Structure 1
Amino acid sequence: MKQKIIKLVTLLAVAVMALSLSSCGDKKSVAQEANTADTWAAIKKRKRVIIGLDDTFVPMGFREKNGKLVGYDIDLAKAVFKQYGIKADFQPIDWNMKETELRNRTIDLIWNGYTITPERLKQIAFSRPYMANRQVLVTKKSEGINSFAGMKNKTLGVQTSSSGASLLDEKPAMLKNYIKDKTPVMYDSFNNAFMDLDAGRIQGMLIDSVYSGYYIQHEKDPASYQTTVGGFDGEDFAVGMRKGDKTLKRKIDSALQQLANDGELQKINQKWFGTNDNSLIDPEK
């Protein structure tokens, strides 16, 4: 009797293990399918595309005081999909989870001042670049900091999962090794970092030049800020999507080119940046 019980328990354990392995295989298969499937036909059929964004990232996508979602990328995405009769819906997401949201198909695109990086290219595909950007150090002029080295033993703020956070780790000798404890303070949004900078809780922040330029320009005292370029290379903003969405990529690339050709891109650029200089939004020209 005892041997039968042992045998039964063993068989049950094997069965559970087999089910577990099968489940893991299924999950892996679903994840692979989600990343390799071409979803353009489904998007076209429902006439709706879901775009994930951080709705605090001025001027790319942010909330006005009345709660309305506006921004450069909002206008650009709407103009792109208008060409195909598709409505662009915008879904605020945790920026730290953006690639996971894309992989799980809760969103179709990441479109919000999203920088092309080697690490991100391993996970997802990108459209053609549509805007030039770089990481800059923003401080208060009263601190007297005008170089990366000037941040020695000072506290630096960075947004979680931003390209700036990645660069800080990739090239520590450039800035990270100077800051207090060689460790930055991480923020969910640049807005919160700016509040701490103004309050003196941090002495600097590594941030996208597109964001900082617009934010500072709209502050009560823009002259109170110091922006230092430093030595980080320039970057490009592009639209992020799953690797399988080759048709979607072609459609977005084609639409961006068409907007550049017919002058609509220049109008959007003029609206948000006060210039129609195409080099800002079309690095290939």
Structure 2
Amino acid sequence: MKMKNLLLGTLAFVSSLTLAACSSSSTTSQDNWATYEEEKTITIGFDKTFVPMGFEATDGSYTGFDIDLATAVFEKYGIAIEWQPIDWDLKETELNNGNIDLIWNGYSVTAERQEKVLFTDAYMDNQQVLVTKKSSGIDSVAGMEGKILGAQAGSSGYSVFESQTAILKDIVSGNDATQYATFNEALIDLKNDRIDGLLIDRVYANYYLQQEGIISDYNIIDAGYEDEAFAVGARKSDTTLVEKINAAFKELYAEGRFQEISNTWFGDDVATDAVKN
């Protein structure tokens, strides 16, 4: 009897694993829009330290430009968002394993990422910049020769640093950058002179340094890379979801809601032509 119960228990466990695997495979290989509509919820993965795009406030709530924009988009479809903080270095893995349904948090479009995800229209432009302390005397990319560079692991900044031929990679110490889990950690090391320069998104650098009241103490230098665009990343199979987000972007802009959110966070209209037209 004991052996029979053990066998039945084992079969039930294996069956549950099989069903879970099938469910995950189904989620990641089909168009899931009908499911999102039926369940009235969708899970979005984000880096909770990326101000001002999406981050954790002092009261523990999530806030930021992307938080507000995503909320406005899915309000149009009656769908609630479950915000899931993730390791940014594993974002595509989390998406394609079915743990999240979207990557939405200042997510730059790159050729490498286009092989892994389906992007929406770009909704905002961005640029990678080199941030240095004015007291260091480094006021140009050339000034980083032999110096220590920092970057966030898995960021578009580190990706272009690795893939694009530019003087920065050729001249910095070790021809590589010290990688950090978050920009916050990297900025702390920059403040304390443990690194000499930081490759970072312009939007993050401007907001953080202004909020800290120290922007006058730092140089924000064009790093020499091509401009980028922020978009939302979905699984390749979720074509309807991407179409719905694109349509909502245009509707929100026509209504003036997109501009309201943009002005709240940037004091300017940051929408791309794809959103406006």
The TM-score with structure 1 as length reference comes to 0.86
Correspondent of 1:145 among 138, 142, 150? 138
Correspondent of 2:58 among 42, 65, 86? 65
Q: Within 2, Cα distance between the matches of 1:173 and 1:62?
A: 31
Q: Is the CA contact 1:157–1:193 (under 8 Å) kept in the aligned structure 2?
A: yes
Correspondent of 1:226 among 219, 226, 232? 219
The aligned runs of 1:3-152 (5 Å cut-off) are: 33-152=26-145
Q: Deviations over 1:210-258 (max 9, x none)?
A: 1111111111322001000131110000000001001101100000110
Q: Which residue of 2 aligns with 1:169?
A: 162
Q: Which residue of 2 aligns with 1:281?
A: 271
Q: Within 2, Cα distance between the matches of 1:34 and 1:185?
A: 36
Structure 1 residue 148, shift from structure 2 partner: 1.1
Q: Deviations over 1:27-65 (max 9, x none)?
A: 8x9887554310001111110010000000000011111
Q: Is the CA contact 1:31–1:103 (under 8 Å) kept in the aligned structure 2?
A: no
Number of matched pairs: 257
Q: Is the CA contact 1:34–1:103 (under 8 Å) kept in the aligned structure 2?
A: no
Q: Within 2, Cα distance between the matches of 1:31 and 1:149?
A: 49
Q: Within 1, Cα distance between the matches of 2:91 and 2:114?
A: 14
> Percent same amino acid at aligned positions?
47
For 2:107, give the aligned amino acid.
Y
Q: Is the CA contact 2:126–2:229 (under 8 Å) kept in the aligned structure 1?
A: yes
For 2:155, give the aligned amino acid.
S
Q: Deviations over 1:113-159 (max 9, x none)?
A: 00000001011100011000010000001111121111001100000
Q: Which residue of 2 aligns with 1:9?
A: none
Q: Is the CA contact 1:260–1:282 (under 8 Å) kept in the aligned structure 2?
A: no
**Is the partner of 1:236 in helix, strand or coil?**
strand
Q: Deviations over 1:171-196 (max 9, x none)?
A: 24331111111121100000000000
**Is the partner of 2:109 in helix, strand or coil?**
coil
For 1:81, give the aligned amino acid.
F
**Is the partner of 1:137 in helix, strand or coil?**
strand
Q: Within 2, Cα distance between the matches of 1:267 and 1:252?
A: 18
Query: Please, which runs of 5 or more residues in structure 2 have no aligned partner?
Result: 1-20
Residue 158 (structure 1) aligned with residue 148 (structure 2): no
Correspondent of 1:187 among 174, 180, 192? 180
Q: Within 2, Cα distance between the matches of 1:176 and 1:190?
A: 19
